Amino acid sequence: MPRLLRTVARTAVVAGTATTVSNRVSRRQANKWGQQEAAQAPPPEAAPAPVAAAPAAAPAPSMIDQLKELGELKEQGILTEDEFAEQKAKLLAG
């Protein structure tokens, strides 16, 4: 059973890391494209006021939160020292 938990935890960490990296790349691309469009578009004459603000999306977990979660998984024995070091390196490199 501990082996199954370790596999599930490792999958969750990898998926979370992949999601974080994917979101970061998407935000960078959107910002880059937005800057390019703003530079090319003429300034608007008058923009109408928004009717209602859209609800904000839930913020992505911070790197510190993810590192804390990795540390907890290691303390619980779900991740080995090598797995912890590998996932930590991925987070810090991203």
Model pTM above 0.75? no
Q: Is the pLDDT of residue 51 over 70?
A: no
Q: What is the mean pLDDT of residues 27-52?
A: 72
Rounded mean pLDDT of 43-63?
64
- Give the DSSP H or E segment for 8: helix 2-40
User: How far separated are the first and last CA of the chain, in Å rounded?
Assistant: 32
Q: Report how far apart, in Å, the C-alpha atoms of 16 and of each of 33, 39, 59 are.
A: 26, 35, 13
For residue 55, pLDDT beyond 80? no
pLDDT at residue 11, rounded to an integer: 83
- Give burial (CB, 10 Å; 0-12/13-18/19+) of 56: exposed
- Looking at residue 25, its pLDDT comes to 80
pLDDT tens figures, 23-33: 788 888 888 88
Structure tokens at 91: 């987070």
pLDDT at residue 58, rounded to an integer: 63
